[in-house]
């Protein structure tokens, strides 16, 4: 039993060290508590997070739960970094979270909502 726990701890530690790769895509963030949609650009990605660029006229999103949709994936995440860049844009860092039943229900209910208008 002890070896299994050690193995899991080592595996979790390795996952946290996964480097991001370049991945440029236009994306949309949905802020979970307000359902506000914010259009952003993803710059890099890993299985556990993303680096995102956001316009300067957007709200403070630090420590907010979001859903981000890119051209090929959907991620539920926490924004754990928001820094202003020299060009006035914001650089966001997000960390993936496990989907909850409420988030999945929201996704299934609202996917494609804009395209039906």
CA distances (Å), origin 17, targets 1, 4, 20, 81: 25, 20, 9, 17
pLDDT at residue number 111: 67
Which CATH number goes with the domain that contains 44? 2.40.10.220
In a domain, 11, yes or no: no
Per-residue b or e along 86-115, where b marks 16 or more CB atoms closer than 10 Å to that residue's CB: eeebbebbbeeeeeeeebeebeeeeeeeee
Among the listed residues 59, 58, 60, 40, the one whose alpha carbon sits nearest the alpha carbon of residue 50: 40
Is the pLDDT confidence value at 57 over 70? yes
Q: DSSP assignment, residue 117?
A: -
Q: What tens digit of pLDDT does each residue of 24-49 get? A: 999 999 999 998 999 999 999 988 88
In a domain, 54, yes or no: yes
Per the structure, the count of domains in the chain is: 1
pLDDT at residue number 20: 82
- Give me the mean pLDDT over the 88-92 stretch: 94
In a domain, 7, yes or no: no
Q: What tens digit of pLDDT does each residue of 71-85 get? A: 888 999 999 999 999
Give the number of residues written for the chain. 117
In a domain, 10, yes or no: no
pLDDT at residue number 17: 60
Q: Domain of 45?
A: 20-116
In a domain, 88, yes or no: yes
In a domain, 14, yes or no: no
């Amino acid at each position: 039993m002890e070896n299994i726990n050690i193995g899991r701890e080592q595996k979790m530690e390795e996952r946290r060290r996964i480097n991001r790769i370049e991945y440029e895509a236009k994306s949309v963030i949905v802020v979970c508590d307000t359902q506000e949609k914010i259009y952003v650009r993803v710059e890099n990605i890993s299985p556990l997070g993303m680096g995102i660029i956001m316009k300067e006229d957007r709200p403070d999103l630090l420590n907010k739960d979001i859903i981000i949709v890119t051209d090929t994936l959907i991620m539920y995440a926490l924004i754990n970094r928001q820094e202003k860049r020299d060009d006035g844009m914001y650089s966001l860092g997000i960390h993936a979270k496990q989907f909850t039943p409420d988030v999945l229900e929201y996704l299934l209910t609202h996917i494609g909502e804009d395209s039906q208008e």
